[in-house]
Amino acid sequence: MSEAQLKDLEEIFEQRIANDEKIEPKDWMPEKYRKTHIRQISQHAHSEIVGMLPEGNWITRAPSLRRKVALLAKVQDEAGHGLYLYSACETLGISRDELYDQLHSGKAKYSSIFNYPTITWADMGAIGWLVDGAAIINQVPLCNTSYGPYARAMIRVCKEESFHQRQGFEIMMSLCNGTEVQKQMAQDALNRWWWPSLMMLGPVDAESVHTEQSMKWKLKRKTNDELRQQFIDQTVPQADILGITVPDPDLKWNEETGHYDFGEIDWDEFWQVVKGHGPCNKERMNARVGAWEEGTWVRDAAMAYAEKQQNKKENQAKAV
């Protein structure tokens, strides 16, 4: 293909997206579009899978049967969401195994928030309330993104996700309506999860490298800073209802802007965790790699069995 032809195709392609047309797997697409989508969708899928670990940490210790089944169902949903997203990603011509390799080798990233430890039961509440809250803000606009399989996966994810945040908030409510010890537990969880949750919405706009292109392809509808502001504005009143304090002395309502002003985020911490030096990066990766490697013989057995059965069927057919 000549350069001029390529440019033509690209123009038509961009025009289709601008017209709100969806792109489907077999359609022609610029290499950069494919790569960007593989990166973003897989990163999203990895986040779901790694995200199972900090919450999975409390399944066996959930304090009541009701909480236990809700948490199990939630972690199971995350496996499901990872699966929907891996499938969407695979339509771009990359296999699940290659994607896992990228995760296990550290080449692919996942949401940094899951590199923080879950040390009390209240963390289950805080994750549902804050982390899922921030995730939903990120995800809802993606239901309308330009790549068809991703948009369809996100519609399913968002539909199922709505119980997750409520589940978390309800845990927080029970704690805040409980004993002094429980209230302290809730406050402590908010203290530890607040800032990482704000970081989850991505670096400040000035430092965000992909924003412009992502906006064009509808991978993004709002900038990181806009999303962060939206998250803070909707979450602070919820903390008030719970009766716990957001750990930011600079946080205050600004009549003029109609938004909350907030303090400086510690971006050094953010980059440290992104670069692999958070409190649990190594544990999370070891857990994933371990599960995958220990599962090899199981997956191999299933394939071997399937082939044997297939051969049996074919031989029977021949015999008849």
Q: Which residues bind other proteins (CB under 8 A)?
A: 24, 26-28, 49, 52-53, 56, 59-69, 72-73, 75-77, 79-80, 82-84, 86-87, 90, 95-97, 121, 152-153, 156, 160, 171, 174-175, 177-179, 181-182, 287, 290-292, 294-306, 308-310
| Shorter beta-carbon distance to other proteins: residue 175 or 227 | 175
Contacts of residue 209, Cβ cutoff 8 Å, sequence gap at least 6: none
Rounded Cα distance between 206 and 271, Å, is: 15
| Shorter beta-carbon distance to other proteins: residue 264 or 294 | 294
For residue 100, the one-letter residue type is Y
Residue closest to 144 by CA, chosen among 215, 218, 39? 218
| Shorter beta-carbon distance to other proteins: residue 67 or 220 | 67
What minimum distance in Å lies between the beta carbon of 73 and other proteins? 6
For 39, the 3-state DSSP assignment is helix
| Shorter beta-carbon distance to other proteins: residue 257 or 296 | 296
Residue 24 gets the label, from left (phi > 0), alpha (psi -120 to 50) or beta, of beta
What minimum distance in Å lies between the beta carbon of 250 and other proteins? 33
Rounded Cα distance between 269 and 210, Å, is: 21
What minimum distance in Å lies between the beta carbon of 292 and other proteins? 8
| Shorter beta-carbon distance to other proteins: residue 34 or 210 | 34
What minimum distance in Å lies between the beta carbon of 37 and other proteins? 17
What minimum distance in Å lies between the beta carbon of 227 and other proteins? 27
Note the helical H segments in the chain: 3-18, 31-56, 65-90, 96-104, 122-126, 132-139, 148-176, 180-200, 211-216, 224-242, 267-272, 281-294, 296-319
What minimum distance in Å lies between the beta carbon of 296 and other proteins? 8
| Shorter beta-carbon distance to other proteins: residue 75 or 134 | 75
